[in-house]
Structure 1
Amino acid sequence: MSALRKNNVRVDGAGQQAMLFAHGFGCDQGMWRFVEPSFRADYRTVLFDHVGAGQADLACYDPVRYSSLGQYADDVLDICRELALDQPVFVGHSVSAMIGMLAAIRAPQLFARLVLICPSPCYIDDGDYVGGFSRDDIAGLIDFLDDNFVAWSGAMAPAIMGNAERPELGRELESSFCRTDPTAARQFARVTFLSDNRRELDLLRTPSLILQASDDAIAPPAVGRYLHQALRGSTLVQLAARGHCPNLSAPQETVAAIRDYLR
């Protein structure tokens, strides 16, 4: 099957260089609606949905095949190849930041730059490494999700989004979670929160921008600093935006930071 159909790819923009946007867990390409239009004048923008999310072809979902982030990275490469993208800028939010990193490691000649928004190579604390969660925390989170996906979505969405004074943002994220196929979401949660990509960091050669949000319950500031030290050629920018989804809560600041970096 065509990767463009499989991942519900949408192409827009007037530029020659492409900018590829990848959404985070429980989301879809609509999460970029406040960011992507700002780049259409200068870039060929590419939006897509991960299999199991949005309008991607659910018939293509296989829990064995999608048991690691590697298959999601391969999907990104398939999209790039089918569109014949030449040195695109990859913009990945949350777990998609690591998916983009893995894709760039597999095809180092392909990407010009990576923009990693609220990334984390490992969510579990390990010795001196601060990921933000204990192993028991993650086990409890996954058990809760398995037991009652709707209740999990209602409880977790506001915490992930932050910005309690703007509850509509949390409600939007909750709604997005609930639109995701529950089977695929449960598996993607395991793959996301149990992943550990720290060993791969030294393999990345593509220049990258790390956008670290403040007061992020999923990827705390220590994670951003760790990534910046581990990724050669990286730039770390601390946003004033709070929460894990600055592409929704602070799109203007997010756009400005990306523009400043690409200049």
Structure 2
Amino acid sequence: MSSAIAQLLDGKALSQRIQTHLIQQIQQLEPQKGRPPGLAVLMVGDNPASAAYVRNKERACTNVGIASFGKHFPTKTTQAELEQTIQALNEDDRVDGILVQLPLPPHLDAVALLNQIHPDKDADGLHPVNMGRLLRGEPGLRSCTPAGVMWMLQEYGINPKGKHAVVVGRSILVGKPQSLMLLEANATVTIAHSQTADLAAITRTADILIPAVGRPGLITADMVKPGAAVIDVGMNRVTEPDGKSRLVGDVDYDSVQAIAGYLTPVPGGVGPMTVAMLLKNTIESYERRI
């Protein structure tokens, strides 16, 4: 076994570089448009993790020069109220991107709300029209997390062409769009999930392994092909024996870093890239509407 340690893929530094470029883009576009780009993040209830994500997104907007039209609703807000808000934002010329922060309280229908967002203002890239565009290989707003993963692979010179990519998880947020994007980049793609028999036998054949299931430490060293690129999309908050909590991924980081060729940290890997892609989507629809 080699004693080499995996090269870290630094999503935080890469996200900073992307944001610097976006600042320049806005400075060029704003004089033509007469206003800055606008993003509306809608949050319902008081889920602490969601609140932290929303704060991150709004801070990132401020940093690059995107106007925030965020709205925070109490938990008991009705479906109709939210649908009316989305309709108003669809028609608001100052708003280029709309995002509904998930998860929502159980009485709300998230899919119906996401479908209300105009596809060209769908900052999260989750509208069926944008998913259809991805499936057909047509231009459109792309789902932020998988797009961030693809950007990262490109930046670090990991070309999926001809490689075997294994995506663990089949969610509409990550697993499915991720698989389509890898396919578009000419990888041979396997999607594994909770019903997969002998997960380890499949993950061990992956040149590029992308776990996205939300199970801490699911991927251990014996499940990874030596030299593989492991992109950890999992974000799990675990509580230590001393009562402190920390964020970990789906990968058992300490053991896997001795086997993998490339590895993303959690936090500081895919998370910052997701935010960068959200800003990029907002500016893309801003530019398209000029």
Question: Do these two structures clear the TM 0.5 threshold for a shared fold by scoring above it?
Answer: no
TM-score range, shorter chain: 0.3 to 0.5
Using the size of structure 1 for normalisation, the TM-score is 0.34
Higher gyration radius (CA): 2
Using the size of structure 2 for normalisation, the TM-score is 0.31
